[in-house]
Amino acid sequence: MNYYESGVERIRNIDANLYIEISKKRYEEVRSKGEYEADANLIAEYYRRVGVFLQFISKEAASIYIGMDMLLGFKMEENEWDIFLETCPNFNKIDIMLMKLISIHYLRWCSLLDVRDNIAVQFPDIYEPMIKLFERGGGRINTHHHELVGGFGAFSRSIHANRGDMTPFDISDVALENIIKEVELAEGYLADYKNGNLSENNCIRCGNKLLILPNLSDYGYQWYKIKCETKDCFDKNFS
């Protein structure tokens, strides 16, 4: 099976039922905080990989809407959308335009890999974080003003080359599931704390103690920081 055939199979296997009428739901109805945290890592790794690619082709920045194939000078056909929906009919039920667009460019990139394009072959997995995001059900993304937004928060709509200087994010299934588990642990710990249970909890990453730090905003809004005693370990804000 070549890259394109494998890519089509992956796109066709994305469960459209995860996305039907998703835009009508609140973010908290769709995914947990832990899942959104894992989603953010996938998006951050995509931005990093694009940053490395931009440095390679000596380009300062690119919009989230621009495919890597287009940055190499390849043009989209007028009927590209129709061809995509015929090839991957499950996407007819998905109304997230950016998710469709990224998937189209992913398949176009797969085609470049099959013909051994001399630049594409040096970045064979550039789209992997985003396709994995869609496969896991985290593809509810859109742009608002100058940002890519979702339940994970926001990223700049423009991807800058300096993203390529970042340390790679671990997007293995094990790493993503650990992110979810540690957020779930912190949420449970906080719920117990609010109910008067002052038992201690330990960090999944290093085993040291987790600390709950209550905070009050200038407007009287109560929020909490849960952080590990270990420097540069778990450190998240919770409402």
Shared-domain flag, residues 224 and 183: yes
CA atoms within 13 A on the CB side of 206: 12
Residue that is written with structure tokens 């015929």 in the block: 86
- pLDDT tens column, 130-149: 999 999 999 999 998 889 99
Residue that is written with structure tokens 């809407």 in the block: 65
pTM for the structure as a whole: 0.93
Shared-domain flag, residues 35 and 135: yes
With a cut of 90, say whether residue 198 has pLDDT above it.
Answer: no
pLDDT category at 23 given cuts 50, 70, 90 is: confident
Range of the domain at 17: 3-165
Shared-domain flag, residues 177 and 128: no
The residues, any chain, with a CB within 8 Å of residue 81's CB and separated by 6 or more, are 100, 104
Shared-domain flag, residues 119 and 216: no
- pLDDT tens column, 61-96: 999 999 999 999 999 888 999 999 999 999 998 989
Shared-domain flag, residues 110 and 144: yes
The residues, any chain, with a CB within 8 Å of residue 196's CB and separated by 6 or more, are none
User: How far is the first Cα of the chain from the last one, in angstroms, to the nearest whole number?
Assistant: 48
Q: Give the DSSP letter string of 127-145.
A: THHHHHHHHTT----EEET
CA atoms within 13 A on the CB side of 197: 9
Least confident residue range of 41-45, 113-117, 203-207: 203-207
Q: What is the rounded average pLDDT of the residues 37-61?
A: 97
- Specify whether the CB–CB gap between 212 and 194 falls below 8 A: no
Residue 66: φ, ψ to 5°: -90, 130
Shared-domain flag, residues 161 and 179: no
Shared-domain flag, residues 204 and 111: no
Shared-domain flag, residues 33 and 91: yes
CA atoms of 43 and 98, how far apart (whole Å): 13
Name the domain boundary from 124, 144, 165: 165
Name the domain boundary from 143, 165, 187: 165
Report the domain count for the chain: 2
Highest mean pLDDT among 11-25, 43-57, 188-202: 43-57
- pLDDT tens column, 162-185: 999 999 999 999 999 999 999 999
DSSP strand pairing (142-144 vs 235-238): unpaired
Shared-domain flag, residues 160 and 181: no
Element (H, E) at 188: helix 173-194
Shared-domain flag, residues 144 and 92: yes
Name the domain boundary from 134, 165, 196: 165
pLDDT for 218 equals: 79
Residue that is written with structure tokens 């931005």 in the block: 47
Shared-domain flag, residues 206 and 129: no
Shared-domain flag, residues 82 and 189: no
